[in-house]
Structure 1
Amino acid sequence: MDVRDVLTETYDRLPGLVRGAVDGLSPEQLRRAPATGANPVGWLVWHLTRIQDHHVAGLLDVEQVWVTGDWAGRFGLSPDPDDVGFGHTPGQVGTVRPESAQALLDYFEAVAQRTRGLLAGLRPADLDRVVDEAWDPPVTLGVRLVSVVEDDLQHVGQAAYVRGLLGAG
């Protein structure tokens, strides 16, 4: 198994986890925080998808899926490409209002499809390419891809936990 296969296998686990976290939840359940200051399922899945969309679009030097079509409208938001949820206050978290579980699934799938395309074209030498010199040491493509999937896996696990707290199984 080469590195492309390992990364593809890892990223391909996310769709089932995302579906398991949101499938069957009502818009109200998606927006319900389990406690004051905690993040609801809908925000967590929106955020993990925004991070992947933002970073992969940057790697490909293309427009984010978020700013094409009416993705933002389906969440009650504007198509601000810089709004990925990082540093959101509880008030800002509350503005993320997915119209349905399907809206989250559709947006995630559109982003995941783009990511699969990036991964399909990877060669081992590509992973050493520096993609962000703002850090010390500079971030390589390989490190960025691992960082994104690590963040996504943490947040989808949180979403599954919050789903359980809601009594939604």
Structure 2
Amino acid sequence: MSATNSAGLLVDSFGRVREAVHEAVEGLTEDELAARVDPDANSIAWLVWHLTRIQDDHLAGAFGTDQLWDADGWRDRFGLPFGKGATGYGQTSAQAGKVRAPADLLLGYHDAVHARTLDLVRSVTNTDLDRVVDAAWDPPVTLGVRLVSVIADALQHAGQAAYVRGVVERR
């Protein structure tokens, strides 16, 4: 698909998120993924879990599908001590520190959400981008705004994870 149309741009953007996540995670041990630059900093594991949870949550809501977190059993596989709908938003430092997972689990969940995301966005048209997906905000949030928000947030967190990786590798 060409990157000159809405769907193509979305596929390309989410592909960049996936690449950044893999670069930040691959080859690290569970301890390295859980390392924190200081006692209150976010770990790579938390950053990647959180950005994936947000993508899973927000796209499921925007497209009216189930979240893979529950529907595909990822919540059970991670075994985190959080409530059912937890995405990491608003968590304390202590809660963030409880996210521990091996690379294959983090990447498995992210790749599953990425595949679902591509299935959902491949058919998005310019007209679809104007559809309101969350009327709780003023102004209401359209699909286009929601997708750009998810991409921007995910890229920021993936960049933070890359930074933490650099610090961890130099220790």
Tell me the SS of whatever aligns to 2:133.
strand
2:42 to 33, 39, 42: 39
**Cα distance, 1:8 vs structure 2:** 1.3
CA RMSD between the two structures:
1.6
Query: Which aligned pairs between 1:1-169 and structure 2 lie closer than 5 A?
Result: 1-77=4-80, 80-98=83-101, 100-167=102-169
Deviations 1:72-118 (A, max 9, x none): 233231684420000111111122121x1010110001001111011
Letter in 1 for 2:13: T
Other structure's SS at 1:30 match? helix
Structure 1 15/56 Cα, relative in aligned 2: closer, same or farther at 3 Å? same
TM-score, normalising length: structure 2: 0.93
The farther-off stretch of 2-11 and 110-119 is 2-11
Q: Once the two structures are aligned, what percentage of the paired residues are identical?
A: 48
Gaps of 5+ in 1: none
Shift of 1:62: 1.8
CA distance in 2, matches of 1:67, 1:79: 13
| C-alpha distance in 1 between matches for 2:170 and 2:114 | 25
Separation in structure 2 between the aligned mates of residue 109 and residue 121 of structure 1, nearest angstrom: 19
Q: Which runs of 5+ in 2 are unaligned?
A: none
The count of residues paired between Structure 1 and Structure 2 equals 168
TM-score of the aligned structures, taking structure 1 as reference length: 0.94
- Name the CA shift for 1:110/1:78 in 2 (closer, same or farther; >3 Å): farther
Instruction: Give yes or no for contact 1:8–1:116 (8 Å, CA) kept in 2.
Output: yes
Letter in 1 for 2:141: V
Could you say if the C-alpha distance between residues 120 and 79 of structure 1 is closer, same or farther in structure 2, counting changes exceeding 3 Å? farther
